[in-house]
């Protein structure tokens, strides 16, 4: 019996589990502290009324023989894939229903997609970035080459010369920096991937925060993407589905590598290792994508946008360097006074009872930086900013 | 870019997708045919009232800021893990809450668990068996050695002499044969696995059908299992959750291989590649495990048990060899007149408009056999048996 030896090389716990544990220890020692959590990227507003009603109605359907739904299609119900196709169309991206796969969230699919690729490939991963990209590749023993993201390139690395990559991770709007690629930058990436025969794994989880109509919300707005890119998206941030769980992945028919259709391979993977998403959850997602549902979702997004504005304004007043927060729920700030990331984490926790995410948790280039999220309530965000000013 | 070459070796489509397609083509050509589906193992009765109510209530909670649940624990909520621990205790298996992982279904976890093991291992897989075991190992290029199951050993293969295995798949009550291991047989397997340093992957998806108190419902009823076995279970058949999606996997703390705790490895896998099960689904599952919920579930199981009895009685009247159907929802029959499995499938579809599953789809030893399920409605099952008699 040989275990997967690559697990030995991983840090024992996932970044956000470590943060949660540290905060738990602090609150045990200081039960009186009123902690404001701006660490993990979880939303605070509920799912929209339209979605909650459809969710509850479908849950009741499951309790009646006439309306009961058993195993559904592994790829997801057509009623939902149709809505997602139309959602893409609404901002000018053409995606076919057949190429959309409903999942229980982008995090699952970002890990599971790697089943399709040999361990003998190089993953190009921006640094800093969402730790899941690195950890999932490390688990398979895949080579990782980092793309330096830093203030010099606005935390938006471009195709490297002299560095081949097979799997390219792009996250835009970026987690953790909030930076967003523009059309010409993404075009460069698509041309690079098509030329090199690489595959772009495009994480669009925060696309709903893009307000600027000039910025692309999907890689499929870029010509040529359908022959080189897989896109991962989610209702977590768009419709507060973090605890309800629904996402989608697009694998275009035109994407072929080694003579194999990656869409067919993914379908084979999903029909073998997955049994579809809960029927009532899919009904809730469908409702979120209706006109009425979207209007309600947008009201919530506006609350977070206003939070982001308040955070940016505070940091500007304090003379702290930062980016993000305009087309993104994340604000990426430099730690004041040359502090290291975990040092500032402790200081902010102890002096202001505010929890953020240490930049170094996202990679070596994150050292000296810190991530704040706009997903808190309006009141908590204002209070946290007041405490930061007093600090 | 190198794709995972092992996908080339797989049959293009998953068994049940092939059956669905064949039946679809038949119904297109014969729109008047009243098809009775006894093929795929999907239930027909709804989830119990208690679960449906809790499900709908929790769905509504998601729509209110005060009761909204965002990201939950990747391992599942304690309120549900506690119920599952108690459920195990109710039939004499001791399982710790910390070792229970809630998932979206046994199929997902049966595939995903393989992340923990090197490709350089041998999987021992019974033949015939649920195709997921073979396909998921073939996808990783793992060596497979088959354990012959046949009428001679009652379709219950025992530890082979002279054949080493690292991963051992046991499914009891068995899919597709309905055969159930007794306590002394499972004890032999546990002793073998502990001696060889192998890991048993025990699929208990059909445990709820075991009526005979002498038969073990969990591998953890066998002393020594906690150092050699992982168990997969699901609410799909117990509580009609096929379309609602909830299962659980037990990885005991005492299970260590290569100096690594498999429970810790699985926790690392799940926190990295999974984001937990929908909160309302977990509330529905919790409700199914209450006393009232279980009573309602048992009423449904009794309907299926009676169906199984009717099927067995019919086959006995027709003089057709069969097993299963007493502590299992599956009845495994020999194809009449020496027919091959797919031949009988076509004959049954065309002459009786009844869909079953060809035994050869489960492995070479399944050739000449056929699987019927008791999950239909009472009326359909009776009608299907009448049609078989006329045939």
Q: Is B274 on the interface with A (CB under 8 A)?
A: yes
Residue A76 has pLDDT above 90, yes or no: yes
Residue B37 with chain A: CB contacts under 8 Å: none
SS3 A197: coil
Q: Best residue in B19, B273, B274, B303 to probe A by mutation, most A CBs within 10 Å? A: B273
Q: Which residue bears the tokens 């979120």?
A: A288
Task: Return d(Cα B206, Cα B208) in angstroms, integer.
Answer: 6
Q: Using DSSP bridges, classify how beta strands A143-148 and A122-127 pair: parallel, antiparallel or unpaired.
A: parallel
Q: Which residue of B has its CA nearest to A198?
A: B1
Strand order of the sheet with strand A369-373?
A322-324, A330-334, A369-373, A357-358
Q: Is A44 on the interface with B (CB under 8 A)?
A: yes
Mean pLDDT within A8-22: 82
pLDDT band at A161 (very low <50, low <70, confident <90, very high): confident
Q: Is A69 on the interface with B (CB under 8 A)?
A: yes
Q: Select from A52, A112, A240 the Cβ nearest to the Cβ of B60.
A: A52
SS3 B122: strand
Residues 6+ apart with CB under 8 A from B99: B250, B251, B252, B253, B263
Mean pLDDT within A92-104: 97
Cβ contact, residue pair A7, B265, below 8 Å: yes
Q: Is B257 on the interface with A (CB under 8 A)?
A: yes
Q: What's this model's pTM, rounded to 2 decimal places?
A: 0.96
Quote the pLDDT of residue A12: 67
Residues B87-119: pLDDT tens digits? 999 999 999 999 999 999 999 999 999 999 999
Residue A266 with chain B: CB contacts under 8 Å: none
Residue B62 with chain A: CB contacts under 8 Å: 46-47, 51-52, 55, 240, 243-244, 284
Quote the pLDDT of residue B9: 86
For chain A, how big is the Rg over CA atoms in Å? Answer: 21
Residue B84 has pLDDT above 70, yes or no: yes
Q: Is A56 on the interface with B (CB under 8 A)?
A: yes
Q: Is A348 on the interface with B (CB under 8 A)?
A: no
Task: Return d(Cα B69, Cα B66) in angstroms, integer.
Answer: 9
Quote the pLDDT of residue A285: 98
Q: Select from A17, A42, A115 the Cβ nearest to the Cβ of B271.
A: A17
Q: Which residue of A has its CA nearest to B67?
A: A46
Residue A5 with chain B: CB contacts under 8 Å: 118, 258
Mean pLDDT within A156-178: 95
Q: Which residue of B has its CA nearest to A18?
A: B271
Task: Return d(Cα B43, Cα A164) in angstroms, integer.
Answer: 50
pLDDT band at A9 (very low <50, low <70, confident <90, very high): confident
Residue A84 has pLDDT above 70, yes or no: yes
Instruction: State the average pLDDT for chain A.
Output: 96
Interface of A with B in 364-383 (CB under 8 A): none
Residues for chain A: how many in total?
391
End-to-end CA distance of chain A: 55
Pair A367, A334: CB distance under 8 Å: no
Q: Which residue of B has its CA nearest to A139?
A: B115
Residues B178-226: pLDDT tens digits? 999 999 999 999 999 999 999 999 999 999 999 999 999 999 999 999 9
Tokens matching residue B160: 């082979």
What count of CB pairs under 8 Å joins A to B? 273
Helices B78-90 and B279-288 pack at an angle, to 10 degrees, of 30
Cβ contact, residue pair A5, B118, below 8 Å: yes
Of B192, B187, B194, give the one whose Cα is nearest residue B147: B192
Cβ contact, residue pair A62, B275, below 8 Å: no
Residues B128-184: pLDDT tens digits? 999 999 999 999 999 999 999 999 999 999 999 888 899 999 999 999 999 999 999
A63 Cα to chain B: minimum distance (Å): 5
Dihedral through CA B250, CA B256, CA B258, CA B260, nearest 10? 80
Task: Return d(Cα A104, Cα A83) in angstroms, integer.
Answer: 17
Quote the pLDDT of residue A46: 97
Q: Is B73 on the interface with A (CB under 8 A)?
A: no
Of A303, A220, A307, give the one whose Cα is nearest residue A48: A303
Quote the pLDDT of residue A219: 98
Cβ contact, residue pair B272, A132, below 8 Å: yes
Cβ contact, residue pair B166, A1, below 8 Å: yes
Q: Which parts of chain A fold into alpha helices (H)? A: 15-29, 49-61, 78-90, 106-112, 131-139, 183-196, 262-273, 279-288, 291-317, 341-352, 378-390
Q: Is B276 on the interface with A (CB under 8 A)?
A: yes
The Cα-based distances of B321 to B129, B291, B330, B333, B375 in angstroms read 19, 39, 14, 6, 21
Task: Return d(Cα B208, Cα B171) in angstroms, integer.
Answer: 13
Pair B243, A279: CB distance under 8 Å: yes
Tokens matching residue B204: 């208990």
Tokens matching residue A52: 């909650």
pLDDT band at B12 (very low <50, low <70, confident <90, very high): low
What percent of chain A shows pLDDT beyond 90? Answer: 94
Quote the pLDDT of residue B210: 97
Cβ contact, residue pair B117, A4, below 8 Å: yes
Residues 6+ apart with CB under 8 A from A185: A156, A158
ipTM for the whole predicted complex goes beyond 0.90: yes
Quote the pLDDT of residue A41: 82
Quote the pLDDT of residue A29: 95
Residue A11 has pLDDT above 90, yes or no: no
Class of residue B187 by CB neighbours under 10 A (exposed 0-12, middle 13-18, buried 19+): middle
Mean pLDDT within B65-71: 97
Mean pLDDT within A136-153: 96
Q: Which parts of chain B fold into alpha helices (H)? A: 15-29, 49-61, 78-90, 106-112, 131-139, 183-196, 262-273, 279-288, 291-317, 341-352, 378-390
Q: Select from B49, B115, B132 the Cβ nearest to the Cβ of A63.
A: B49
Q: Which residue of B has its CA nearest to A47?
A: B63
Residue B11 with chain A: CB contacts under 8 Å: none
Q: Which residue bears the tokens 């499914």?
A: B171
Pair B183, B194: CB distance under 8 Å: no
Backbone angles phi, psi at B247, to 5 degrees: -145, -175
Helix (H) or strand (E) holding B372: strand B369-373
Q: Is A18 on the interface with B (CB under 8 A)?
A: no
pLDDT band at B16 (very low <50, low <70, confident <90, very high): confident
Q: Select from B2, B70, B118 the Cβ nearest to the Cβ of A117.
A: B2
pLDDT band at A39 (very low <50, low <70, confident <90, very high): confident
Residue A197 with chain B: CB contacts under 8 Å: 1
DSSP A214-258: TS-SSGGGSTTGGGTEEEEEESTTTS--TTT--EEEE--TT-EET
A105 Cα to chain B: minimum distance (Å): 7
Q: Select from B5, B59, B243 the Cβ nearest to the Cβ of A55.
A: B59
Q: Is B48 on the interface with A (CB under 8 A)?
A: yes
Q: Is B9 on the interface with A (CB under 8 A)?
A: no
Query: Which segments of B128-215 are extended strands (E)?
Result: 143-148, 167-171, 199-203
Residue A14 has pLDDT above 80, yes or no: no
Residue A16 has pLDDT above 90, yes or no: no
Task: Return d(Cα A77, Cα B277) in angstroms, integer.
Answer: 19
Q: Is the peptide bond before B128 cis (omega within 30 degrees of 0)?
A: yes
Q: Which residue bears the tokens 């009786």?
A: B352
pLDDT band at B368 (very low <50, low <70, confident <90, very high): very high
Residues A267-306: pLDDT tens digits? 999 999 999 999 999 999 999 999 999 999 999 999 999 9
């Amino acid at each position: 019996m040989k275990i997967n030896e690559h697990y030995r090389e991983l840090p024992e716990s996932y970044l956000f589990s470590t943060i949660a544990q540290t905060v738990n220890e602090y609150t045990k020692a200081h039960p009186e502290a009123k902690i404001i959590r701006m660490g993990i990227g979880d939303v605070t507003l509920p799912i929209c009324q339209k979605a909650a009603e459809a969710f509850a109605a479908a849950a009741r359907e499951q309790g009646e023989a006439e309306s009961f739904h058993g195993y559904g299609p592994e790829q997801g119900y057509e009623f939902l894939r149709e809505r997602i196709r139309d959602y893409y169309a609404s901002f000018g991206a053409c995606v076919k229903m057949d190429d959309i796969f409903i999942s229980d969230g982008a995090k699952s699919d970002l890990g599971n997609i790697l089943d399709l690729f040999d361990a003998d490939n190089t993953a190009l991963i921006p640094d800093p970035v969402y730790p899941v990209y690195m950890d999932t590749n490390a688990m398979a023993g895949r080579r990782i080459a980092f793309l330096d993201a830093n203030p010099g390139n606005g935390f938006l690395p471009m195709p490297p010369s002299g560095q081949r990559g097979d799997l390219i991770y792009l996250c835009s709007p970026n987690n953790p920096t909030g930076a967003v690629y523009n059309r010409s930058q993404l075009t460069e990436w698509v041309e690079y991937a098509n030329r090199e025969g690489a595959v772009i794994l495009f994480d669009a989880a925060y696309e709903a925060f893009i307000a600027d109509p000039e910025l692309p919300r999907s890689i499929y707005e870029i010509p040529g993407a359908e022959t080189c890119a897989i896109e991962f998206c989610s209702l977590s941030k768009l419709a507060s589905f973090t605890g309800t769980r629904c996402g989608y992945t697009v694998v275009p028919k035109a994407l072929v590598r080694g003579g194999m259709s990656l869409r067919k391979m993914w379908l084979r993977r999903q029909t073998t290792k997955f049994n579809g998403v809960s029927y009532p959850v899919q009904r809730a997602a469908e409702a979120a994508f209706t006109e009425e549902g979207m209007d309600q979702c947008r009201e919530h997004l506006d609350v977070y946008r206003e939070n982001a504005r308040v955070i940016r304004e505070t940091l500007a007043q304090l003379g702290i360097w930062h980016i993000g927060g305009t087309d993104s729920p994340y604000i990426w700030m430099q730690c004041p006074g040359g502090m290291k990331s975990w040092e500032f984490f402790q200081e902010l926790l102890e002096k202001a009872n505010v929890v953020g995410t240490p930049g170094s948790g996202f990679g070596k280039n994150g050292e000296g930086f810190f991530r704040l999220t706009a997903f808190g309530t309006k009141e908590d965000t204002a209070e946290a900013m007041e405490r930061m000013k007093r600090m």
